[in-house]
Chain A
C-alpha cells in the first residue's frame, strides 16, 4: 500500500476499528515509515479527546472505599506471606501450663486475666479505629457531595446552548497576553483560558474580578505554567448577566478581598 492509502486507514487504526487485513498492512507499513507514524500520533491525540465527550457521571462514593479495601487486602496478603517465615514456632517446652495440662489453678487465673486485659485493650483500639474510620467516611461523603454538586453546575454550564466566547484584552502590563472567556449569561460559571501571561514570582497568584456597578466580586485565583498558559473555572456569586466586566490582577497567596495588584487583563461584556 502507498502512504496515502495507509493514511486513509490511520483514523480507523487509532480507534482500533481496522479488520485484520487492513490492520496488518498498517502495522507493517508503520514499522518503516516515520511520516505515517507522525500521522498516527496526530490522530491519537484526537482519539484521546473522545472520553472527554462522555456525559459526566459520578461514581458512587463507596466505590473508592471498595477499591482501597481491595488494595489493603492485597497489601496485607503480601505482608502475611512475608511474616510466615519469621513467626517463631511454639514448642512443647515453651507452651503455657494450661496447654500442657498442668493442674495449676493460680496460673490459669493469671493467664485468664492477662487474656482478658489483652482483649479489652484490643477492643478499645478497635473501637477507636472504627470511630476514626467512620468520621473519615462521613467527611469523605460530605466532600464528594459538594464536589458532585459543583460538577453538576459545571456540566449545566458546559452544555448550555447559549454559550458565547469573548476575547479578553491585555492591559499595557500584559501586552503579549491572549485570553478567551467562555461564558453563558445565565450561568454562574465561565471558563477563562489565557496564554503568554507572565509566570508570577513565588507567593503570588492571579485573581479574576467580576465587576458589577463598581463593586468587585472574586471569580477565583489561578497560576500559569512556564509558557504562560493557564485555565480558570470562574465561579461567580451571581449569574454572569449581572456583571458588566472582568479584570485580572496579581495578588498575594489565596487572593485578596479586593484588587490590590497590577491589572493584567480586562474584558467588557
Chain B
C-alpha cells in the first residue's frame, strides 16, 4: 500500500486498527512540525524528544477516539503536543497543569492538502507575516499564552504590567491576527473553508 498518498484521516483509521506503518507515515508527515512546537515550549534537549515521542504514542493509543467531524487531524495532534509540552514545562517549574481545554478542537480547514510540505510551508509563511505585523507587546502576550501556557494573571505578573493591559493586548493581538489571516484567505493564499 502506498501510505504517503493516503489522507491523514485514512491513516488515523489505520492506526486505530494497529497499523504501525500508518503511524510511521503520520510521523514522517508531522514530526518536524510537532518537534518544532515542542522545542519552542520546552527548549531543545531530551525533554523535547520525549514529549514528541509521547505525543505520537498518544496518537497510537488514542487513534480510535479521534473524531474527524470535530476537526482536522493536525489540529488534534498539535493540541496533544502543546498540552504535553506545557505539562512538561510546568512540571519543570513545579506547577501543576490545569487542563481546561479539550484535546479535539474545532476547525474548518480544507482537508484536501493537509500535511503536505507545501501546505505546511504556506501556513508558516502566512502566520509569520501576520505575527510580524503585530506590535511587539501584543505578539509577546499572545506568545506567552500560547507557547508557555500562561494565563492573564501569570502574564501580568511575569511582565509586571496591569491585568487590564494584558487582557487588552491579547484581545487586540488575536483580533489583528484574525483579520490578517482572513485577508490571506480572501487573497487566495490559504485554502478555502
Contact = CB atoms under 8 A, between A and B. Distances in A.
Leading 6 A-B pairs by shortest Cβ distance? A11-B174, A225-B112, A17-B145, A59-B35, A15-B145, A52-B123
Contacts of B20: 68, 71-72, 75
A56 interface: yes
Given A22-B152, A52-B33, A47 B146 contact: yes
* Interface size class of chain B, counting residues whose CB lies under 8 Å from the partner chain: 35 or more
A72 B60 CA distance: 11
Interface of B: 18, 20, 23-24, 27-28, 31-33, 35-37, 39-40, 44, 49, 52-53, 56-57, 60, 74-75, 78, 81-82, 100-101, 105-110, 112-113, 116-128, 130-131, 142, 145-147, 149-153, 155, 167, 170-171, 173-175, 177-178, 181, 187-189, 191-192
A88 interface: no
A56 B32 contact: yes
Contacts of A18: 100, 151-152
A53 B105 contact: no
Interface stretch (A38-46, A119-127, A207-215, A242-250): A38-46
A52 B108 contact: no
Contacts of A44: 75, 105-107
Q: Which of A18, A70, A154, A193 has the most CB of B within 10 A?
A: A193
B33 A17 contact: no
Contacts of B147: 50, 54
Nearest to A24: B100
Interface residues of A, number: 64
Interface string A55-71: 11111100110111011
Contacts of B189: 180, 193
A4 to B, nearest CB: 12
Given A17-B151, A193-B189, A11 B125 contact: no
